């Protein structure tokens, strides 16, 4: 299907409840899903939870719970977060579901029969925090001379029988794929990083474990469980596989992930897919980290922020806006509530909220809510009438390339122009001096708000709906409507403030 668009978030570990980092990736994926839908695409968007592995088993043990009851409980919190965030995901996949486990066993058998799996034994260091085997050159030491992994946890020595995937065999094919598909990994700095890693040589990958049991057992070898990353990555296909209608969505158009898990997505994943003779996703975008005082926000560092607390306090659109606007997608950024409040008051309350509130109030006050025609058009009116269409191409290409902050800057440059136009034209004076001009100015402004609101839909979906309702038009307006206008003679509804000021 030509018009389809399949987008995913990582599936999150259920060793602990969700934090703002998880909410961020999910909100970004939701923004893209909404943007693509408004551009006319048929969307499939999934998120979910990664429920197997040593890290989750150990977390369950710490809570004195059987792993299954533990993952059932924690995954509910992630499902709840999708509701609080008002995500438009079509499905939520859990790796403990039968549909997923059956699919992964099928894949194991396929890779095995293709000659890419062999039995050996693994000896080496393992990071439970990252669920990753760690090479000697990635190891550092702490003051007690203990070995640390890339995420700073104390490594465990593993020595156990293990099945291996012939990753080394796929090195050349991977390099060839990267060369032929320069857009596969974004941003470009990450693409170069992955290429130089693979060029440095790939070792075969241990893909089963025997020292714990919480996972999908290896077909025909039930003392082994399948390595959690081989299990987890295939969620992107198992989520489609049980429904013929959804199978056509593969390959994914975009996997949105944090840079911490790029290696798994950009190296292991395409190698597994090549081995299984499946198509490779079009794009992997690895974004940066939200930090707190310069340190990555993470469950294990204990410096996490609860997204539900923030949304209760400030609102859903507000948090979404801040996360998308505050950092360039791809970069790291420091989170602070002070910066959040400052940005919300300045951008949402003073700029957008104020524009909508004062223009709609004037239409009610001066024209009894009716949209009147424009008949005295000057160059300033014309400029504003055309500004959104003129900027649309730029906005669209920024959104297409996941430059959300830059796309928002374009919209806000229009909003600020609109506010400056209100101040300059001073409708409150025109009301006394020139009623014709007043109608023209208010007509220009209401159409401008309508068009601005079309652009903000993926970024501020709830507010955009409210504003369309105040304009008395349908609550969703596709991008192809960008040249439409609010009909003369129509009446708007009474405005209600969309972004109340936050007391600092
Ligand atoms: O890695 N800033 O799950 P996970 C921004 N189960 N994003 C952050 C973040 C931060 N400080 N902290 C977390 C896993 N994230 C695997 C994935 S996929 C087949 C398996 C986001 O619970 C970011 O997207 O550790 C990161 O990649 C993901 O959460 C890691 O979530």
pLDDT in tens, 468-501: 999 999 999 999 999 999 999 999 999 999 999 9
Bridge partner residues of 290 (DSSP): 333
To which residue do tokens 């975008």 refer?
285
Ligand 1 binding pocket, CB closer than 6 Å: 10-13, 21-22, 24-25, 50, 232-233, 235, 257-258, 260-261, 289-290, 296-298
Q: How far apart are CA 164 and CA 286, in angstroms?
A: 27
For residue 242, what pLDDT band results from cuts at 50, 70 and 90?
A: confident
Residues 391-405: pLDDT tens digits?
999 999 999 999 999
> Which residue owns the Cα nearest ligand 1 atom 11?
297
pLDDT at 74: 98
Residues 185-194: pLDDT tens digits?
999 999 999 9
Q: How far is the CA of 298 from the centre of ligand 1 (A)?
A: 9
pLDDT at 1: 76
Q: How far is the CA of 217 from the centre of ligand 1 (A)?
A: 25
CA angle 90, 93, 97 (to 5 degrees): 140
Q: How far apart are CA 172 and CA 160, in angstroms?
A: 29
For residue 302, what pLDDT band results from cuts at 50, 70 and 90?
A: confident
Share of the chain above pLDDT 70, in %: 100
Q: How far apart are CA 156 and CA 75, in angstroms?
A: 27
The residue among 288, 285, 251, 248 whose CA lies nearest residue 265 is 285
- Tokens linked to 461: 């979906």
- Tokens linked to 466: 């409210």
- Helices then strands (H, E): number in the chain? 20, 18
pLDDT at 486: 96
| Rounded mean pLDDT, 424-449 | 96
Residues 305-347: pLDDT tens digits?
999 999 999 999 999 999 999 999 999 999 999 999 999 999 9
Nearest ligand 1 atom to the CA of 50 is 6
pLDDT higher at 299 or 197: 197
Contacts of 68 (CB under 8 A, 6+ apart): 96
Residues 78-98: pLDDT tens digits?
999 999 999 999 999 999 999
| Rounded mean pLDDT, 373-380 | 93
Q: Is the pLDDT assigned to residue 504 strictly greater than 90?
A: no
Q: How far apart are CA 1 and CA 249, in angstroms?
A: 8
Contacts of 401 (CB under 8 A, 6+ apart): none
Of all residues in the chain, what percent are helix, strand and coil, respectively (each to 5)? 50, 15, 30
pLDDT at 244: 87
pLDDT at 377: 93
Q: How far apart are CA 147 and CA 381, in angstroms?
A: 67
Q: How far is the CA of 2 from the centre of ligand 1 (A)?
A: 30
For residue 262, what pLDDT band results from cuts at 50, 70 and 90?
A: very high
pLDDT at 29: 98
pLDDT at 172: 98
Does the pTM of the predicted model rise above 0.85? yes
Per-residue HEC secondary structure of 81-121 comes to HHHHCCCCCCEEEECCCHHHHHHHHHHHHHHHHCCCEEEEE
- The average confidence (pLDDT) of the chain is 96
Q: DSSP label at 186?
A: E
- Tokens linked to 493: 């509804």
């Amino acid at each position: 299907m030509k018009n389809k668009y399949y987008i995913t978030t990582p599936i999150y570990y259920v060793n602990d409840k969700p934090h703002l980092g998880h909410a961020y990736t999910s909100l970004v994926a939701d923004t893209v899903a909404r943007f693509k839908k408004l551009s006319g695409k048929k969307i499939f968007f999934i998120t979910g939870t990664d429920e197997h592995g040593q890290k989750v088993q150990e977390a369950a043990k710490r809570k004195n719970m059987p792993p299954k009851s533990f993952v059932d409980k924690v995954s509910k919190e992630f499902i709840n977060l999708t509701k609080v965030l008002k995500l438009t995901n079509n499905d939520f996949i859990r790796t403990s579901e039968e549909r997923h486990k059956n699919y992964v066993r099928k894949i194991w058998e396929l890779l095995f029969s293709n000659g890419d799996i062999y039995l050996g034994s693994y000896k080496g260091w393992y990071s439970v925090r990252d669920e990753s085997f760690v090479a000697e050159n990635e190891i550092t030491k702490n003051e007690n001379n203990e070995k640390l992994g890339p995420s700073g946890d104390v490594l465990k020595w593993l020595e156990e029988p293990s099945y291996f995937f012939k990753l080394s065999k796929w090195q050349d094919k991977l390099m060839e794929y990267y060369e032929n598909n320069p857009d596969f990994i974004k941003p470009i700095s990450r693409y170069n990083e992955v290429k130089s890693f693979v060029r440095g040589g790939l070792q075969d990958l241990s893909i089963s474990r025997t020292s714990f049991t919480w996972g999908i057992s290896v077909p025909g070898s039930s003392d082994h469980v399948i390595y959690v990353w081989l299990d987890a990555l295939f969620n992107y296909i198992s989520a489609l596989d049980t429904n013929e209608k959804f199978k056509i969505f593969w390959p994914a158009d975009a996997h949105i992930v944090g840079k911490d898990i790029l290696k798994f997505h950009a190296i292991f994943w395409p190698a597994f897919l090549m081995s299984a003779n499946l198509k490779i996703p079009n794009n992997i975008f690895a974004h940066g980290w939200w930090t707190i005082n310069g340190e990555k926000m993470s469950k294990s560092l204990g410096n996490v922020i609860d997204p539900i607390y923030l949304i209760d306090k400030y609102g859903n659109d507000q948090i979404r806006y801040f996360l998308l606007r505050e950092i360039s997608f791809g970069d790291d950024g420091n989170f602070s509530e002070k910066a959040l409040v400052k940005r919300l008051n300045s951008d949402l309350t003073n700029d957008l909220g104020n524009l909508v509130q004062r223009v709609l109030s004037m239409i009610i006050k001066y024209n009894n809510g009716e949209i009147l025609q424009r008949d005295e058009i000057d160059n300033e009116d014309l400029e504003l009438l055309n500004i959104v269409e003129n900027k649309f191409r730029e906005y669209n290409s920024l959104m297409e390339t996941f430059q959300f902050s830059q796309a928002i800057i374009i919209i806000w440059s229009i909003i600020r122009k609109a506010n400056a136009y209100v101040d300059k034209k001073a409708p409150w004076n025109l009301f006394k001096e020139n009623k014709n001009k007043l109608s023209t100015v208010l007509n220009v402004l209401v159409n401008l708000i309508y068009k601005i609101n079309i652009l903000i839909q993926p970024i501020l979906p709830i507010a955009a709906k409210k504003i369309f309702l105040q304009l008395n038009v349908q609550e969703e307006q596709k991008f192809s409507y960008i040249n439409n206008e609010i009909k003369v003679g129509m009446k708007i509804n009474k405005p209600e403030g969309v972004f109340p000021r936050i007391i600092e």
